[in-house]
Amino acid sequence: MHLILFIFFAGFCLAGAINLLLQSHPINSALSLIVVMTSLAVLYLLLGAEFLAIAQIIVYAGAIMVLFVFVVMLLNAGREERTLGSRAARVIGLPAVVALFALFATVILRTHGLGVSSASQPITDTKELSAVLFRDLLLPFEVTSVLILIAILGAVALAQLDHGERTASK
C-alpha cells in the first residue's frame, strides 16, 4: 500500500517538476510548483513525518506560493518567448547534469550516520519533535529566528527608503 502511494505521488511530483520547466506561462509554472510541493508533503507523510507534511502545505503551498501567484497577477506577466538557448548549454547541459547527480549520489551514499528511513515508519509525534526543536536545538532555532527577523526588518527598511525618496521628490 505504502509502495503504491509512494510510486504514485513520486510520479506526480516528477511530472509536476517537468511541467514546471516546460510551461511558458509563469502562472502555469507556479501552479506546477504547488503540485510538486503538495506531492512532497504526501511523501513526508509516508515517512511518518506528519507535522513536516502539513507544515509543507501550510507554509509552502499555502503561503509562499500565494505570494508568487499574487506577484504574477499584479505584474500581469505574459507568455515567455521561447528561445533556442545558448549553444554551450545545449552541448554540456546533459553531461553536466549527469556528473552533478553522480557526485551528489556518491557523497550522500558514502556519508555514515545518516538515519535510515523507510516507508511505513511509525508516525513521529509532534510532542517529540517540539522537544527536540525547543530543548535540544534551542540555540540554532533562536539564531534562525533572529536571522529571519533581520531579513524582515531589512525588507521593511528598503520599502521605507523607497517611500521616503518618492515623498521627497514630490
Partner 1 sequence: MTILEFFLWSLLKVAVVTVVLLMSVAYTVLLERKLVGRIQNRWGPSRVGPFGLLQPLVDGAKSFLKEDLIPTAVYRPLYLLAPMIALGCALISIAVIPFGAPNTGPHGIDLFEISNINIGLLVILGVTSVGVYGIALAGWSSNSKYSLLGSLRSSAQLISYELALGLSLVGVVLRAGSFNLREIVEQQARHGFMSWNILGGMQFVAFFIYLMAAFAETNRSPFDLPEAESELTGGYHTEYSSMKFAMFFMAEYANMINVGCVATLLFLGGWTSPMGDLMHPMGGPVVTSLFSIFWFVIKVFAFLFLYVWVRGTLPRFRYDQLMNFGWRFLMPLAILNIVGTSLWLAYR
Sites of contact with partner 1 (CB under 8 A): 1, 27, 31, 34, 50-51, 54-55, 57-58, 61-63, 66-67, 69-70, 72-74, 123, 125-127
Three-state DSSP at 147 gives: helix
What's the closest the beta carbon of residue 73 comes to partner 1, in angstroms?
5
CB-nearer residue toward partner 1: 112 or 127: 127
CB-nearer residue toward partner 1: 46 or 57: 57
CA distances from 125 to 96, 99, 131, 132, 147 (A): 41, 39, 10, 11, 27
Residue with cell 526543536: 133
- Calpha distance 69→76 (Å, rounded): 10
What's the closest the beta carbon of residue 156 comes to partner 1, in angstroms?
12
What's the closest the beta carbon of residue 166 comes to partner 1, in angstroms?
19
What's the closest the beta carbon of residue 67 comes to partner 1, in angstroms?
8
SS (H, E, C) 91-131: HHHHHHHHHHHHHHHHHHHHCCCCCCCCCCCCCCCHHHHHH
CB-nearer residue toward partner 1: 96 or 125: 125
